[in-house]
Amino acid sequence: MVDLFKYCPHCAGPIVYKSIPDDTHPRHVCTLCNTVHYLNPKIVTGVLPIYKEKVLLAKRAIEPRIGLWNVPAGYMENGETVEAGAERELWEEAKAKVKNIRPHLIYSIAAINQVYMLFLGELVDINFSPGEESLEVALFSEDEIPWKELAFTSSAVCITKYFENVKLKSEKVHIGQYTHPKNL
C-alpha cells in the first residue's frame, strides 16, 4: 500500500500504515494521537435520463476520456444524498432535470475503489443543453447509441441494462462489477 498520508490532519503527527487490533485491514494511523484514517471507495452517482425510450447522453469536455459519450454522472459530494448527487451531475453535464428518479444499477470497480450508483429518470422536458463539463448532449434510441465511443464501461452496462429492461417490460435493478484482465 502506498503511503497516501504522511502527517495527521488532526495533530500533524507522523502517519504509519499498520495492522491494528480487531480490524481486518492495515490502516493509516497517527503515531501521536492514534487517530485511524480510513480510506474508503468513492461513490459515483448519476442518472440515465429517459424520453420516449430514448436516453440522454453527454459527450465529455473534460478528462478522463474527453470527447467520448457517457451517462451523466460524477463523484458524490459530502452532505448530499445519492439521488441529489445524480440530479446535480445531470444538471452540471446536460442542464436537464428528471422526475420519477429510481435505482437502476449498482456497479463496482474494485481495482480503482469506485462504486457507481446509477438511476433512471424521465426527462421533465427536452430543453437540455451542454453543461460546463460537456461538449454536446443528445437523445439516442437503442440503435443510435455510439457504442464504440462510450467513455466508461459503467455507461455501457447502464445503457445495455436499460434496453434489456425495456424489452422485458421490467424495472429490475441490476448489480454488476468490472474485473480487469489479469495481464493488465
Q: How confident is the model over 5-56, as pLDDT tens digits? A: 799 999 999 999 999 999 999 999 999 999 999 989 999 999 999 999 999 9
**What does each C-alpha distance from 75 to 23, 110, 159 come to in angstroms?**
28, 16, 19
For residue 107, how many C-alpha atoms fall within 13 Å in the half-sphere facing its CB? 21
Domain-by-domain residue ranges, the chain?
Answer: 1-39, 42-177
- How many whole angstroms separate alpha carbon 75 and alpha carbon 172? 24
> Which phi and psi angles does 9 have, rounded to 5°?
-70, -10
Does 181 score more than 90 pLDDT?
no
Residues written for the chain: 184
pTM assigned to the model? 0.89
Which is it for strands 98-109 and 73-75: parallel, antiparallel or unpaired? Answer: unpaired
Q: How many CA atoms lie within 13 A of 11 on its CB side?
A: 12
Determine the CATH number of domain 42-177. 3.90.79.10
Tens-place pLDDT, residues 59-84:
999 999 999 999 999 999 999 999 99
Find out if CATH 3.30.56.10 is the number for domain 1-39: no
Residue 141 CB coordination number (10 Å): 11
pLDDT band at 183 (very low <50, low <70, confident <90, very high): very low
